[in-house]
C-alpha cells in the first residue's frame, strides 16, 4: 500500500508520543510511513523528504519535535502539503518551548499545531483533512466520533450508580 500520511519525528526518543498517531491511523485504515529525521542533524535529508513527499503520494505530514522544534517548520518551508506539528514535551521547559516554536511560523509557512504530546489529535486532524475527499473515510471517522459520544453517555449512566452519602 502507498502511504498517504507521513509521521516524522526528530528522534526515536519521540516514538512513545508519536506512536499514538500511528495507532489511530492504523485503526482508521490509513496507510502511513514513519521516520526519524532531524532538522539540525540531517537537514539535507529533511529537505529532500519534504520536497519529495507529494511526488511519493503523501497528502499530510505529522511532524513531532521537542525543544527548538524546528522540524515541522523546516518541512513546511519545503513543501506545499499540510504540516501538523506535535510539540513534544522536553526536559527543560516541559514542551512550552516547542509550542512557541511551532506557533511563531512566519506568514506563508503555516504549521497546524496541536497540544503538547498531542499526536493523537494530530492524527485525528489528518483524518479530517483526508476525509474531505474520501466518503468511506468520512463514514469511518463519523463512526469513531459516535463511539466517543457513546463512551461519555455510558460513563454518565455509570455515575448514576455511584453512591455517596449526600449525593442527590
**Which CATH number does the domain housing residue 43 bear?**
3.40.50.1970
Using pLDDT thresholds of 50, 70 and 90, give the confidence band for residue 141. very high
Please give the backbone phi and psi of residue 51, each rounded to the nearest 5 degrees, phi first. -70, -25
Grade residue 8 by pLDDT with cuts at 50, 70 and 90.
very high
Locate 98 and state its grid cell: 516547542
Q: Find how far residue 96's CA is from the centre of its chain.
A: 17
Q: Domain residues for 66?
A: 5-159
Within a domain: 96: yes
Whether residue 168 lies inside any domain: the answer is no
- Long-range Cβ contact pairs of 88-93 (< 8 A, separation 24 or more): 88/9, 88/10, 88/14, 88/17, 88/18, 88/64, 88/116, 88/117, 89/17, 89/116, 89/117, 90/66, 92/67, 93/67
According to DSSP, the residues that pair with 113 across neighbouring strands are: 85
Q: Decide if 89 is inside a domain.
A: yes
Domain count, the chain: 1
What mean pLDDT is reported for the chain?
95
Q: Is residue 62 part of a domain?
A: yes
> Taking the C-alpha atoms of 13, 17, 23 and 26 in order, what is their torsion angle to the nearest 10 degrees?
-70
In a domain, 149, yes or no: yes
Judge whether 21 lies within some domain.
yes
Residue 56 falls inside a structural domain: yes
Is the model's pLDDT at 167 over the cut of 80? no
Spatial contact of 127 and 142, defined as CB atoms under 8 Å apart: no
Mean pLDDT of 145-167: 90
Q: Is residue 164 part of a domain?
A: no
CA-CA distance, 102 to 111, in Å (whole number)? 6
Sign of the torsion formed by the C-alpha atoms of 127, 1, 48 and 67:
positive
CA separation for the pair 1, 18 (Å, rounded): 21
What are 64-105's pLDDT values in tens digits?
999 888 999 999 999 999 999 999 998 779 999 999 999 999
Amino acid at each position: 500500500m502507498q502511504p498517504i500520511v507521513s509521521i516524522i519525528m526528530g528522534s526515536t526518543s519521540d516514538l512513545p508520543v508519536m506512536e499514538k498517531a500511528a495507532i489511530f491511523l492504523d485503526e482508521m485504515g490509513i496507510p502511513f510511513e514513519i521516520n526519524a529525521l532531524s532538522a539540525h542533524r540531517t537537514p539535507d535529508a529533511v529537505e529532500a523528504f519534504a520536497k519529495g513527499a507529494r511526488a511519493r503520494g503523501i497528502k499530510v505530514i505529522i511532524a513531532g519535535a521537542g525543544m527548538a522544534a524546528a522540524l515541522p517548520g523546516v518541512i513546511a518551508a519545503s513543501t506545499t502539503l499540510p504540516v501538523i506539528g506535535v510539540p513534544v514535551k522536553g526536559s527543560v521547559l516541559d514542551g512550552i518551548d516547542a509550542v512557541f516554536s511551532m506557533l511563531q511560523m512566519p506568514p506563508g509557512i503555516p504549521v497546524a499545531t496541536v497540544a503538547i504530546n498531542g499526536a493523537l489529535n494530530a492524527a485525528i486532524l489528518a483524518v479530517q483533512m483526508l476525509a474531505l475527499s474520501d466518503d468511506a473515510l468520512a463514514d469511518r471517522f463519523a463512526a469513531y466520533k459516535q463511539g466517543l459520544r457513546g463512551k461519555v453517555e455510558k460513563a454518565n449512566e455509570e455515575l448514576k450508580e455511584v453512591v455517596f452519602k449526600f449525593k442527590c
